[in-house]
Amino acid sequence: AQSVTQPDIHITVSEGASLELRCNYSYGATPYLFWYVQSPGQGLQLLLKYFSGDTLVQGIKGFEAEFKRSQSSFNLRKPSVHWSDAAEYFCAVGASNYQLIWGAGTKLIIKP
Amino acid sequence: DARVTQTPRHKVTEMGQEVTMRCQPILGHNTVFWYRQTMMQGLELLAYFRNRAPLDDSGMPKDRFSAEMPDATLATLKIQPSEPRDSAVYFCASASSGGGGTQYFGPGTRLTVL
């Protein structure tokens, strides 16, 4: 069955520190992979996506993600977080019926 | 800057009342999704349409929820009668055929049923 796992419900990071949010997926074919961010009281905003080609994908707000087929992972990274990065982050995989299969989300807390 | 719009942004109503939420997808997008988000259940897909035809509404409580696309620029989600357990944020998202599944979300309608 298709699924997306974000193993960390919450992550706390100090401002200026590096960040890695984990995402693992289960999907039979070559996946289309997405990261979205949701700031408090807002809708979900696309951070980046992977369809094919270079496995390191650059997104908005200084984020990047790396697709590793052998590990079925698509982890999100940022070298130095800012207080404004505090939000919930969702990983998703594109399914064959136009839907996205969503992870449960990881809430990022920034320590001053 | 093309965006998905949703109205109203906030709605407070009493149990038993009818609630209608509206969504205007991005012009040219032919797939529209309705989601519900709560603290307990997270993000749930309620229904979605492609070229205005419903593809899947299995996530919706059929007895009280209905979703329609009267035309390509308007999607509606109706709850009748509303119940306190329907309190949530309802998101609309749209996607295009050539977008590889990329969905663009509206700002949501925060519904409170008293």
Task: Kindly report the backbone phi and psi dihedral angles of residue B81, in degrees, each rounded to the nearest multiple of 5, phi listed first.
Answer: -85, 155
CB pairs under 8 A between A and B: 48
CB atoms within 10 A of CB B81: 15
Radius of gyration of chain B (CA): 13
Q: Does B72 touch chain A (CB under 8 A)?
A: no
* Distance separating alpha carbons of residues B1 and B93, to the nearest angstrom: 16
Q: Which of B55, B105, B57, B109 is nearest to B82 (CA)?
A: B109
Contact B107 A42 (CB under 8 A): yes
Residue with tokens 């969503």: A102
Per-residue pLDDT, averaged over A1-23, amounts to 95
Residue from the list B45, B100, B108 with its beta carbon closest to the beta carbon of A94: B100
Determine whether the interchain pair A104/B95 forms a contact, defined as Cβ–Cβ distance below 8 Å: no
Please state, in angstroms and rounded to a whole number, the distance separating the CA atoms of residues B6 and A98: 21
Give the pLDDT band (50/70/90) at residue A112. Answer: confident
What is the tens place of the pLDDT at every residue in B8-27? 999 999 999 999 999 999 99
pLDDT 10s digits, A39-89: 998 999 999 999 988 999 999 999 999 999 999 999 999 999 999 999 999
> Is the CB of residue A99 less than 8 Å from the CB of residue B45?
yes
E strands of chain B, at which residues? 5-7, 10-13, 19-24, 31-38, 42-50, 53-56, 65-71, 74-79, 88-95, 104-105, 109-113
